[in-house]
Structure 1
């Protein structure tokens, strides 16, 4: 326990003993002046006024703001000082309540969240899993994912959902030397950007990396069953430039798929229910299921 925490009881006891004297001056006038306080300051003002008439309530007030006892004590001291110097009691209380607004109540949800241990959160999940009447349908991560997906990335997801897995190629060094040691010249070249109609074509590699990070897509080492899918990709300028950058080159065919998690995310968040029946069924290659 810190030195500040060790001093807390003694500091409050002295402040609490002084409160009833202030309360005799302020009690009745405060009740008549409650309309001074509005919005978020209302709660702190009520707590402050109650603390001035009840030492036990004063203790509750300090426990609620134990992380910043100095601010609470200073606010109460300021009220007494202002009243003794002729400031109207309602005005003094209102000003003090405003200063306490950021201390009292504003961090209560955050504090409760900190107090909830990982084990307690796990137990809550298990309790929900046993609740046969629970109506939760969407995965709890979907809301967070929607905040982390760009508009262009949503278009890519719809392409993969409606059009199926997309071809991707790597260009490597080939020839006799390439059979022993092949170097990667260019990776992950696709036609996904143009096919999806994205706005920023140069960002497609970053889009795909983000979708992979979120668990929505999978970069497969397997090629698609139809070799014709790769002809358009291999005729693109960036693929041809990589192939012509060395004397001998070779193209390695791969593919990009939605994960089962990605399929469910798209159906839940990006497709109307009336169109769900029109979607094709996509599966990962047998080796990767």
Structure 2
């Protein structure tokens, strides 16, 4: 009997350094089979504190969920190893090695980036909800005198000066003609290819400084919801005769053996009309004399 005691003591001493090198959660799993009662009491106290923390701070629920998921995964791996015939201490060592702990024996923070991202998402949603509630509160305020759209104060900062000239042309001069040059002939009737889209005279008519930037200007105004591109042509065919006589249109026509011209038009949206009347017109200008624009019917 006395000869066996030193052997047991030495085995315990050999196990102790390995146990100390394990990550926190894995070390808890390794020592739980020696201190079941003590672990149960401590775990109960910690769980109670976590629950109380969640009750007072909902954001801490994400940390609790991440911790539970991490612990459940570790204990599951240990249980699988023991079920396959590996001893519990050896199973704990194997799981610890698979976690890739550092030299100090600390386990990596599994799920921390996901928890932080989820917390930021919750904060963003709460901020948006608060803004929405403030908006509805202003809508119920009978003394609220807001008239112009809130976006009107932001839109000019996202526009080039030439784009203001284009808007004034559309507002005062009405919808503008535009043409697409496509392949024609017998083959074009079956499969027509686009040669040059949206050719127009908006740049020269508006007096923009950078004519080569007109396509970009129109794309930006469309992005801001101020203009739209209609498939319909204008009523006056003379408008298109002037456009089709321009050098860029003629060059596109002559680039193919057979061509056809598709007539379209460019309009202000109702939002764009109101923006121009509010921000670009002179206070004493008669808006009743301004030409009408079609409401958007398609976005092609």
TM-score of the pair, normalised by structure 1: 0.58
* Conserved? CA contact 1:169–1:254, under 8 Å: yes
Gaps of 5+ in 1: 1-112
Q: Structure 2: how far apart are the matches of 1:202 and 1:114?
A: 41
Judge conservation of contact 2:203–2:211 (CA < 8 Å) in 1: yes
Which residue among 217, 223, 228 is the counterpart of 2:238?
Answer: 228
The answer as to 2:285 corresponding to 1:275 is yes
> 1:189: which partner in 2?
199
Alignment map for 1:117-128 (pairs within 5 Å): 117-128=127-138
SS at 1:198's partner residue?
Answer: coil
Which of 194, 213, 228 does residue 223 from structure 2 map onto? 213
Distance (Å, rounded) in 2 between the aligned partners of 1:188 and 1:167? 9
| Distance in 1 between residues matched to 2:164 and 2:170, nearest whole Å | 10
User: Which residue does 1:178 correspond to in 2?
Assistant: 188
- Structure-1 separation of matches of 2:143 and 2:223: 33
Q: Which of structures 1 and 2 has the bigger CA Rg?
A: 2
CA–CA distance in structure 2, aligned partners of residues 282 and 115 of structure 1: 41
Contact persistence 2:231–2:264 (CA under 8 A): yes
Query: By how many angstroms is 1:116 displaced?
Result: 5.8
Give per-residue Cα distances to partners, 1:62-111, cap 9 Å, x unaligned.
xxxxxxxxxxxxxxxxxxxxxxxxxxxxxxxxxxxxxxxxxxxxxxxxxx
For residues 134-170 of structure 1, the C-alpha deviation after alignment (integer angstroms, 9 at most, x for no partner) is 1111111111101011110000000000000000000
Q: CA deviation at 1:281?
A: 3.8
Instruction: Tell me the alpha carbon deviations over residues 212-257 of structure 1, each in whole angstroms, 9 at most, x when there is no partner.
Output: 0000000111100111110110000000000001110000000000
Change over 3 Å in CA distance of 1:285–1:228 after alignment to 2: farther
Which of these residues, 242, 252, 255, is aligned with residue 245 of structure 1?
Answer: 255
CA shift for structure 1 position 114: 6.8
1:146 paired with 2:137, answer no
The runs of at least 4 consecutive aligned structure 1 residues that moved more than 6 Å come to none
2:154 pairs with 1:163: no
User: What RMSD in Å do the two structures reach over aligned CA positions?
Assistant: 2.0
- Between 206-215 and 121-130, report the one with greater CA deviation: 121-130
Q: Report whether the alignment pairs 1:133 with 2:137.
A: no
Equivalent position SS for 2:199: strand
Q: Secondary structure at the match of 1:131?
A: coil
* C-alpha separation in 1, matches of 2:286 and 2:174: 15
Cα 1:150–1:286 shift into 2, 3 Å: closer
Count of aligned pairs between the two proteins: 177
- Whether 2:271 is the aligned partner of 1:261: answer yes
What residue ranges of structure 2 are gaps of 5+ in the alignment? 1-122
Cα distance in 2, alignment partners of residues 283 and 269 from structure 1? 18
Give me the TM-score of the superposition, normalised by structure 2.
Answer: 0.56
